[in-house]
């Protein structure tokens, strides 16, 4: 069964490490502001040595990044780990993690998105530990912090057996504003939100265990020992599975190829429904659209496919707990997702 970490409380310590990219100026100033605003809310923060390094698109060598993550995970005084952001190459630290020791350790919340979902996905499918696909640490540095970000932190305060519900946002951000030494802009919410169902349906409802993350990086785990997807699917087959995905920098053809590859590796066995975030950086090739990618990859499965969900790189986003049992209800462009920590 899924193991849930102890709830995060005010007064607890949040560990900050950079398992993918490090933070360089001017974002170090936003990082400092994030720590300040978390401190003002009653949380302590501790930062590992390499967070502010930049070396070949990572904070340090993969062995060092693995060691720094483990130093926080094995530290009983640290109650949650939230990396500053994602990056490109988190996958190369996975072979240096001690999975036997991690499995024996008391589980703790790890939260983030983008390349951080590589780590979340690996922990959940290998160790049956709940992880949180939600805000990165730098999201707490905006002025002001969006309610969805604080809500993501509040979700880590839930205990096993709790139920929480999230609704669709009203507006989302299409473009990021510039961060400087002194300016940490909030989300610029200009675009109306509409959750859509493939096939132009107006309503659907489905339930199952959540698993997913960023498609750009999760597809690189296929065929490696770090994605025990079949084990996860077999364990929770009777509950059904809900896959959620977001993408950044993939074009529509990449997305179709990735869905095809996942399907050929039986990743979608027992699936009851799909949730796709708004794709960021999407380009169109020969009039092949995002919806074409979804239709070509999934339509024959005759399973609900919901897209333009509040998830991923075009914020604000909801927080999804890998391992939680979810009930998704979508009607007339609106969505409600209830998650139970069982």
Position 56 pLDDT exceeds 80: no
Per-residue confidence at 239, pLDDT binned at 50, 70, 90? very high
- pLDDT value of position 216: 97
- pLDDT value of position 283: 80
Query: Is 3 part of any domain?
Result: no
User: What range defines the domain where residue 307 resides?
Assistant: 171-340
Dump pLDDT digits (tens) for 26-38. Answer: 999 999 999 999 9
Cα–Cα distance measured from residue 326 to residue 166, given in angstroms and rounded to the nearest whole number: 11
Dump pLDDT digits (tens) for 93-121. Answer: 999 999 999 999 999 999 999 999 999 99
Query: Is 2 part of any domain?
Result: no
Name the token pair of 53.
């390094």
- 137 and 206 co-located in one domain: no
Of the three residues 129, 160, 191, the one that is the final residue of a domain is: 160
Cα–Cα distance measured from residue 150 to residue 262, given in angstroms and rounded to the nearest whole number: 33
Query: Is 102 part of any domain?
Result: yes
- pLDDT value of position 248: 94
- pLDDT value of position 214: 98
Q: What is the CATH number of the domain that holds 156?
A: 3.40.50.10740
- 154 and 233 co-located in one domain: no
Query: Is 260 part of any domain?
Result: yes
Strand positions, DSSP E, the chain: 13-16, 44-47, 78-81, 109-112, 131-133, 163-167, 171-173, 189-192, 196-197, 203-214, 241-246, 271-277, 305-309, 320-322, 325-331, 334-340
Cα–Cα distance measured from residue 203 to residue 310, given in angstroms and rounded to the nearest whole number: 17
Dump pLDDT digits (tens) for 244-301. Answer: 999 999 999 999 999 999 999 999 999 999 999 999 988 877 889 999 999 999 999 9
Cα–Cα distance measured from residue 314 to residue 248, given in angstroms and rounded to the nearest whole number: 9
- 210 and 290 co-located in one domain: yes
- pLDDT value of position 12: 98
Q: What is the CATH number of the domain that holds 239?
A: 3.50.30.60
- 32 and 123 co-located in one domain: yes
Query: Is 4 part of any domain?
Result: no
Cα–Cα distance measured from residue 99 to residue 215, given in angstroms and rounded to the nearest whole number: 23
Query: Is 317 part of any domain?
Result: yes
Which residues on neighbouring strands pair with residue 278, listed in sequence order? none
Name the token pair of 140.
């707490």
- 98 and 226 co-located in one domain: no
Which residues on neighbouring strands pair with residue 171, listed in sequence order? 192
- 189 and 325 co-located in one domain: yes
Per-residue confidence at 196, pLDDT binned at 50, 70, 90? very high
Separation in Å, CA 219 to CA 180, 258, 313: 34, 6, 18
Torsion of CA 149, 280, 15, 40, to 10 degrees: -30
Cα–Cα distance measured from residue 19 to residue 21, given in angstroms and rounded to the nearest whole number: 7
Position 55 pLDDT exceeds 90: no
Instruction: Please give the mean pLDDT across all residues of the chain.
Output: 96
For the chain, the domain total comes to 2
Per-residue confidence at 342, pLDDT binned at 50, 70, 90? very high
* Nearest residue to 108 (alpha-carbon basis) of 91, 95, 120: 120
Query: Is 6 part of any domain?
Result: no
* pLDDT, mean of residues 299-319: 97
Of the three residues 117, 141, 160, the one that is the final residue of a domain is: 160
Which pTM was predicted? 0.97
* H-assigned helices in the chain: 27-40, 62-73, 99-104, 116-127, 147-155, 215-218, 229-235, 252-264, 290-298
Query: Is 166 part of any domain?
Result: no
* pLDDT, mean of residues 132-154: 98
Q: Which residues contact 103 (CB under 8 A, 6 or more apart)?
A: 126, 127
- 114 and 175 co-located in one domain: no
- 151 and 187 co-located in one domain: no
137, 82 contact by CB (below 8 A) = yes
- 193 and 251 co-located in one domain: yes
323, 129 contact by CB (below 8 A) = yes
Q: Write down the residue that tokens 């009039």 correspond to.
A: 287
- 95 and 145 co-located in one domain: yes
Position 76 pLDDT exceeds 80: yes
- pLDDT value of position 281: 87
- 215 and 328 co-located in one domain: yes
- 101 and 206 co-located in one domain: no
Of the three residues 133, 160, 187, the one that is the final residue of a domain is: 160
């Amino acid at each position: 069964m899924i193991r849930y970490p102890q709830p995060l409380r005010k007064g607890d310590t949040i560990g900050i490490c950079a398992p993918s990219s490090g933070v360089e100026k001017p974002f170090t100033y936003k990082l400092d502001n994030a720590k300040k605003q978390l401190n003002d809310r009653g949380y302590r923060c501790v930062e590992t040595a390499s967070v502010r390094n930049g070396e070949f698109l990572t904070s340090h060598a993969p062995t060092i990044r693995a060691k720094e993550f483990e130093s926080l995970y094995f530290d009983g005084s640290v109650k949650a780990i939230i990396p500053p952001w994602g990056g490109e190459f988190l996958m190369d630290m996975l072979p240096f993690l001690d999975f036997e020791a991690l499995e024996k350790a008391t589980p703790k919340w790890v939260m983030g998105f983008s390349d951080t979902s590589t780590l979340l996905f690996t922990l959940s499918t290998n160790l049956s530990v709940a992880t949180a696909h939600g805000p990165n640490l730098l999201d707490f540095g905006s002025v002001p912090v969006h309610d969805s970000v604080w809500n993501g932190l509040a979700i880590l305060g839930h205990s096993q057996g709790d139920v929480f519900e999230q609704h669709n946002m009203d507006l989302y951000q299409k473009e990021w504003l510039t961060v400087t030494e002194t300016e940490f802009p909030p989300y610029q919410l200009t675009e109306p939100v509409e959750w859509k169902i493939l096939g132009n349906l107006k309503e659907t409802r489905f339930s199952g265990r959540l698993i997913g993350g960023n498609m750009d990086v999760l597809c690189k785990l296929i065929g490696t020992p770090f994605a025990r997807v079949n084990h996860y699917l077999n364990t929770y087959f009777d509950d059904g599975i809900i896959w959620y995905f977001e993408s950044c920098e993939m074009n529509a053809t990449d997305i179709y190829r990735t869905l095809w590859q996942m399907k050929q590796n039986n990743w979608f066995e027992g699936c009851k429904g799909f949730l796709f975030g708004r794709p960021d950086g999407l380009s169109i090739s020969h009039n092949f659209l995002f919806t074409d990618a979804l239709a070509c990859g999934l339509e024959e499965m005759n399973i609900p496919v919901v897209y333009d969900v509040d998830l991923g790189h075009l914020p604000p986003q909801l927080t999804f707990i890998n391992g939680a049992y979810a009930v998704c209800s979508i009607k007339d462009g609106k969505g409600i997702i209830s998650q139970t920590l069982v």
